[in-house]
Amino acid sequence: MRKKQAAILVVDDQEEILFAAKMALKKHFEAIHTTSNPRTLYQLLAEHKPDVVMLDMNYRIGFEDGREGIHWLREITSLYPNTAVVLMTAFGKIETAVEGIKIGAFDYMMKPWENEKLLDVVEKAVAESRRRQKKPVEFSGDKSFFIGTSPKIKQAYSVADKVARTDANILLLGENGTGKYVMAEYIHRHSNRKDQPFVHVDLGSLSDNLFESELFGYAKGAFTDAKTDTAGRFETAQGGTIFLDEIGNVPLHLQAKLLSVLQTKSVVRLGESKPRALDVRIISATNINISEEVRKKHFREDLFYRINTMEITLPPLRERQSDILPLAEFLLADKAEKYNLRDLAFDGENLDWLERYPWPGNIREMENKIERAVILNDSGKISVSDLDVFDYQPQVKFDEDSPLSDLERQAIEKALAKHSGNISKTADELGLSRPALYRRLEKYNIGQK
């Protein structure tokens, strides 16, 4: 398993916590640094420039209100704003951790933790740190967003700009990988809640038995492992925005519980009876045909109308052809910086094949292909063949008079691009001799100016 190129700094006064964190994380991340003394933070931050700091909130016996953690959080976010901070606490009131998120922490964790949960939170924090380091392409506020110029995406962002200034609930629709998370964050950053938390919840990954405790929180003693009062994700988002991703995957019996929170604008923690008032903006997303699910009675109609005061559909990448090359440049710049390879660039030959490829996985697929090419590159240039965009069946538009010639032309162009113009390799792939290939190049005027 390849370790992620990221540096993690763990700050806690208990040596056993430092050891446990290091053992859990060292298999997954390149550099794990630890310290039991927060006063060494300045030196360690300057020396290691960590992507993520896991910061305990209490250090002195008898002082368990979390104020020390808040102090050091402010220091970190002031000096190193690109560093994502995850707060850790076993004693302090959960409200203090929520306060920490409001002033800049990425997330918080209760001790003791489950290693899977720890890894999940740290991976998301690393991703957030990477996002903060992105080079600007289209700049808005304190973060860059690639918007594009194709009509469908411009229309989507035009609606987002209008609705962002309201508190209307928004439903984002679109295929996997079309940028629903980015759109949700864009709306939050352009809203009146931009200085408050933005909390992402992947509803598709929550099992039935974790659904209520994760979203609504729980009181100490509510179940066997409930060792302290814990706020759920809705409370964590208080004053800000909660992004309910993959809402179409929520089972019917849990949809009623979600609807109750949206209707009453309050949440009741497991093990309690008193509702807690919520001031939270709801953005939901799904990649399924949710209207069809409502018609089939697989999704509650009343919940559907609660979550989609405004509906925004994000187009697939194949319908944004004019954005494909600029988006690829944006993502290459991001990945090159992530891996400290800032001189990387695309080979200008055959880039039009990026526009021909259908991108079934949309932006996420493009990002993955570019990141893999960056990791494996040793020439300083990323070619189209490095991106593996040739392994698909093109849709050929036949000319009634010569359908086979159109197919032959496209096959030759595809093979040439794949092999960067190498005649011998192209001829071998097509099963032609070199002279036969040259005759066809001349016949179709391929590669001739």
151-314: CATH architecture: 3-Layer(aba) Sandwich (3.40)
**Per-residue pLDDT for 447 more than 70?**
no
**Per-residue pLDDT for 137 more than 50?**
no
DSSP codes of every residue in 323-347: HHHHHHHHHHHHHHHHTT-TT-EE-
pTM for this entry:
0.61
Query: Topology of 320-443 in CATH?
Result: Helicase, Ruva Protein; domain 3 (1.10.8)
Q: How many CB atoms lie within 10 A of CB 194?
A: 15
The residues, any chain, with a CB within 8 Å of residue 396's CB and separated by 6 or more, are 403, 406, 407, 410
Distances (CA, A) of 181 to 6, 202, 240, 243: 22, 10, 16, 8
* Percent of the chain residues topping a pLDDT of 70: 89
Average pLDDT over residues 152-177: 94
Average pLDDT over residues 186-211: 90
Topology match between the domains 4-132 and 151-314: yes
Indicate the domain borders of the chain.
4-132, 151-314, 320-443
The CATH code for residues 4-132 is: 3.40.50.2300
Kindly state the DSSP code that residue 57 receives in the 8-state scheme: S
Q: 39-48, 98-107, 311-320 — which one is most confidently predicted on average?
A: 311-320
pLDDT score of 205: 83
Confidence of residue 120 (pLDDT cuts 50, 70, 90): confident
One-letter amino acid at 133 equals: Q
Whether residue 340 contacts residue 375, with contact meaning beta carbons closer than 8 Å, is answered with no
pLDDT score of 9: 96
Average pLDDT over residues 316-341: 88
Kindly state the DSSP code that residue 64 receives in the 8-state scheme: -
Region of 311 (left: φ > 0; alpha: ψ -120 to 50; beta: rest) is beta
Confidence of residue 243 (pLDDT cuts 50, 70, 90): very high
pLDDT tens profile 15-32 = 889 999 999 998 888 899
Report residue 402 CA to chain centroid gap: 46
Whether residue 321 contacts residue 150, with contact meaning beta carbons closer than 8 Å, is answered with yes
Q: How far apart are CA 28 and CA 35, in angstroms?
A: 19
Q: 93-107, 160-174, 326-340 — which one is most confidently predicted on average?
A: 160-174
pLDDT score of 282: 97
Lowest-confidence segment of 176-185, 216-225, 397-406 by average pLDDT: 397-406
Confidence of residue 2 (pLDDT cuts 50, 70, 90): low
**Per-residue pLDDT for 372 more than 80?**
yes
